[in-house]
Structure 1
Amino acid sequence: MDRTERLHDQLALSSSSADQSDLPRPRSPTVSNLICSVQTGCYLDLKRVYFALRNTEYNPKRTNAVIFRLQDPSVTAIIYEKGRVLITSAQSEAEARLAGKKIIRLLQLSVHPEANFCNFKVESLMANGDVCHPIRLEELAKANPAYASYEPEVFSGLVWQSIKPYARVLIWVTGSVSINGQVSQAEVQEVFRKIVELVRPFRS
């Protein structure tokens, strides 16, 4: 290899390194909605619960559950007859756990003193992040037909579904990413790292 060729290779390597260093730093996802469940350990009289608690909705013709809105922390709870309470709109596991304990306490003080706080579980969470660069969604979808679905005339985002780990990810042309279906922040971060690497070749 002569001197000119070596110089050309060095310039190409330098250019490649510069391109990598120019990549914007991704913004790690933060939880925007946590869905958790807790068991009361007893059957609940939904009609009595509806009349005993404030900020409730109950329409047994539509769904056999009481919808209860707790103010602090601000969450929505779906209370089922068999004793299951589904908590949505929490911002963290600690907030959801606190909300669950408050709801159980309200049930104890109103109509079901036998209710207990049992089997708290994170069902799923939604987190939002940003790879911080625009993405060529059509090319990304064509390169990954087994995992990507992109129909811009129906929905403006690309839907990405992976198996290991399972995730349903919405990817937007701006670089915004919404991750659904995980049960821990660690899983969310793992999925996000893979998405960052996945979309990098399709930066526009």
Structure 2
Amino acid sequence: MSDAEYKVNNVVLTVSYRDTELDLEKVASNLEGARYAPEVFAGVIYRMPEPKASFLIFASGKANCVGARSIESAEAAIGNLTEQLREQSFDVGEPEIEIQNMVASVEFHRRFDLEQIARNIPNVEYNPEVFPGLVFRMEGSSVAVLLFVQGKGVAVGAKSEEEIRKALDRIAETIE
């Protein structure tokens, strides 16, 4: 069991309002602070202040939600967006939500000898001339952890906090 501590910094989700076409001009004009410049980008860019999250909203009824720091706050932001769309008289049902990626900063409470890890552990990438961190990919998982000499790291590609914890435990087992 790893004594590493992590903090989720970003959750990325896809949102789908089935069988819905959105009038993006109308969406943008009714969401405070939303931007829509179709000649630059094909969707509405909307930063929700509370709960804090950003959305890319498309005419197809699909959206991406980024910037939330937990699944719960992302789901609350999506619920808030759904309400606002309904208030604009869009007939959106319950959105289908899928977690795509979680990014977490990690503190391992120890230093790492990245050269030694790279020599002794298969399936890691370490090229200090290109990037100062070692890339530790989890077998059978989409999670990768970037390890740095000072004992810090970044976990990417997880779809749940359980996946992050498993990856950190596996690193602790492998490196011990």
> 1:88 is paired with a residue of what secondary structure?
strand
Counting only pairs closer than 5 Å after superposition, residues 83-102 of structure 1 correspond to structure 2 as 83-102=61-80
Distance in 2, matches of 1:27 and 1:162, equals: 16
1:40 aligned to 17, 20, 27, which one?
17
CA–CA distance in structure 1, aligned partners of residues 87 and 138 of structure 2: 45
Query: Structure 1 residues 198 and 61 mapped into 2: Cα distance closer, same or farther (>3 Å)?
Result: farther
Q: Which one-letter code corresponds to 1:169 in the other structure?
A: V
- Per the TM alignment, residue 163 of structure 1 is displaced from its structure 2 partner at its CA by 2.6
- 1:164-183 map, 5 Å: 164-183=140-159
Pairing 1:131–2:108 present: yes
Which of the pair has the greater relative contact order for Cα pairs under 8 Å at 6+ separation?
2
Q: Which runs of 5+ in 1 are unaligned?
A: 1-24
Q: Report the secondary structure of 2:56's partner residue.
A: strand
Alignment of 1:51-200 (within 5 A): 51-110=29-88, 112-144=89-121, 146-200=122-176
Partners of 2:156 and 2:87 in 1: CA distance:
36
1:27 match = 4
The aligned amino acid for 1:93 is I
Paired with 2:169 and 2:157, the residues of 1 have a C-alpha distance of 16
Q: Please give the root-mean-square deviation of Cα atoms over the aligned residues, in Å.
A: 1.7
Q: Alpha-carbon deviation of 1:57?
A: 2.2
TM-score (norm 1): 0.78
- Aligned partner of 1:49 among 27, 52, 56: 27
State the TM-score, normalizing by the size of structure 2: 0.89
Instruction: Count matched residues.
Output: 174
Q: Secondary structure at the match of 1:156?
A: coil
Report the structure, 1 or 2, having the larger helix content.
1
Matched residue, 1:17 = none
Confirm or deny: 8 A CA contact 2:111 2:150 kept in the other structure: yes
Query: Computing the radius of gyration over CA atoms, which structure comes out larger, 1 or 2?
Result: 1
User: Equivalents in 1 of 2:101, 2:73: separation in Å?
Assistant: 14
Q: Given that residues 39 and 116 in structure 1 are in contact (C-alpha distance below 8 angstroms), is that contact kept between their aligned partners in structure 2?
A: no
Which runs of structure 1 show a deviation greater than 4 angstroms over 4 or more consecutive aligned residues?
Answer: none
Shift of 1:83: 0.6
8 Å Cα contact 1:150-1:158 kept in structure 2: yes
Compute the displacement of 1:62 (Å): 3.4
* Letter paired with 1:84: K
SS in 1 for 2:130: coil
- Counterpart CA distance in 2 for 1:90 and 1:116 is 22
